[in-house]
Chain A
Amino acid sequence: MSSSAASWPSGLTRVPYHVYSDAALARREQTTLFEGPTWNFLCLEAEIPNINDFATTHVGETPVIVARGPDGNINGFENRCVHRGAMLCLKSHGNARRISCVYHNWVYDLKGNLTSVTFQKGINGKGGMPADFERGKHGLRTMRIANVNGLLFGTFAVSAPPIEEYLGPEILKRVKRVMREKVKVLGYIDQALPSNWKLYMENVKDPYHASLLHTFFTTFKLNRLSQPGGIVVSQSGAHHVSYSMLEGRDKVSEYEKTELRAKKEDYRLADPSILDGVDEFGDGITLQILAVFPNFILQQIQNALAVRKVLPKGVGKSSLLWTHFGFVDDDEKLTGLRLKQSNLVGPAGYISMEDGAVGGFIQRGVAGAGDTQEIIEMGGHGVDSGVHDTRATEMPIRGFWKEYRARMGL
């Protein structure tokens, strides 16, 4: 197996299978992708609403803390004591005026500054740190934080462009479409995936598989590739949106009266209330899956809203973290719809149950495949930014690899 550029073909339609099992490549992803000039989704602003609130997550495999400091500003830094490397915050969420390491009580403020070193001057004049040890030079490595309508992103690289530029106008517009109000968290689901993290991102960026793998759609006639919809690819190709909609805004009510009911009858749902969505965004779009390079997904499936991030856990495993949300002004009825429709997604989701497993099928399938290449040719050879009115295409996957190869020098 090889992670060298030589094993890659010149075009974008082939990817060597070793990318899912190459440990050297995974180490380089950590430094070049996750800790390079990318923006990594961290958490929702709603998870740290108050002064001194913190949440912990990862940038790639690096543990990080996101904290709202005493000035109300949001800071991000490594969750790793500069002394001996112990994790500082062990809990997923909390509130603290300062952060101290349990091992030797080195203390940091919520900006990541090292504020005290226990026994720095020794005990009774003996021991202690050398006189030239400067606490000010040993703060936690910090991130730049960007807040996009309540979505918090972080980057360790000073060279990362502003987030608006990173996302581009087409993607930013569709992020803002979903993040329309102040967010309320509805809960967390943590799904262990038996595959490399990139296999999940490819799955998300693959509009072709939806009606084929997820037979819930087709068996019960909830969605088809022929339903109006398509994809939007960002300027760079790195990010994309896949969407589908009702027949047209002007036909929504007619659709709801006739076709949706017909679908329910075909389905023979014992309780069809799971399909009772409301057009809360007012544009007839019933599904919008938005992916930001390298590993973030913003989901709207009817009224089931969630953010997802997939984190590498070694080479052949990853962790898919779902945070379901609604908005603070949701009434009980809308919250009820979101809870019911959340049955569609997650590890037990009617339409996403297979997504966790299928990456594992590939991971197992390509064991020993080395430089053999997969075929990513549906919908052509290239990546063209803009709106495309078909989902019978693998263009977003090609876009992912185009970006990946550019950043990794492959």
Chain B
Amino acid sequence: MDTALQLEIENLYARYVHAIDEDRLEEWPGFFAEDGRYQITTAENHERSLPIGIFFASSRGMLQDRVSALREANIYEPQRYRHLVSSILVMGSEGGIVRTQANFQVIRSMHDGAMDLFATGRYLDRIVGRGPAMRFAERLVILDNKRIDTLLAIPI
């Protein structure tokens, strides 16, 4: 095992979830390559090779638009996420792209006191660069739960 690579990837994952959980969403697109892909789907769709996304972005610009829509346009009750990420596994590497996967749980706490396990599943990622220059070329968020409660505003 490439320990240095493992630690760099764990660091990337940690920085990613802390940015979201601490509502620093403006930093979120920066975790992706310029032409990075980000998609949230369900295990059901993924296993049946159905391409629809709950979120679907094929550029960093689309991720920036998500953030500006959340800040300026969309209406949703105040809420916060707490991501728990574990079992971060480097699966392989070729042509400067590292393939990784990890498990996640997202606990959503609403402003009125309600708290639920909102999402659980795995990340399936392709990562380019090393160290602080590491970026997601692709982050596929595959939800085990095929049902989304009410709305999904904040990215996972």
Contact = CB atoms under 8 A, between A and B. Distances in A.
Interface in B30-53: 40-42, 44-45, 50-53
Nearest to A220: B73
A347 B56 contact: no
B113 to A, nearest CB: 13
A273 B73 CA distance: 19
Dominant SS among interface residues on chain A: mixed
A357 B150 contact: yes
Contacts, number: 119
B74 A187 contact: no
A354 B74 contact: yes
B56 A342 contact: yes
B55 interface: yes
Nearest to B148: A347
A188 B50 contact: yes
A287 B146 CA distance: 27
Given A353-B151, A354-B74, A216 B69 contact: yes
A220 B55 CA distance: 19
Nearest to B147: A190
Interface string B42-79: 10110000111111111111101100110011111100
B51 A186 contact: yes
A271 interface: yes
B140 to A, nearest CB: 13
A350 interface: yes
A270 B36 CA distance: 14
A219 interface: yes
Nearest to A341: B56
B22 interface: no
A335 B52 CA distance: 10
A339 interface: yes
B122 to A, nearest CB: 18
A357 B52 CA distance: 22
A75 B5 CA distance: 56
A361 B107 CA distance: 22
A357 B56 contact: no
A92 interface: yes
B2 interface: no
Contacts of B44: 92, 188
A353 B148 contact: no
B40 A348 contact: yes
Nearest to B156: A348
B74 A350 contact: yes
Nearest to B150: A356
B50 A186 contact: yes
A57 B73 CA distance: 35
A274 interface: yes
A339 B52 contact: yes
B75 A213 contact: yes
Interface string B69-92: 100111111000000000000000
B14 interface: no
Contacts of A360: 150
Contacts of A268: 68
Given A324-B52, A339-B51, A356-B150, 7 more contacts: A186-B50, A187-B52, A192-B148, A270-B59, A348-B151, A353-B76, A357-B75
9 contacts: A189-B42, A190-B148, A194-B149, A268-B68, A340-B62, A347-B148, A348-B55, A348-B152, A353-B75
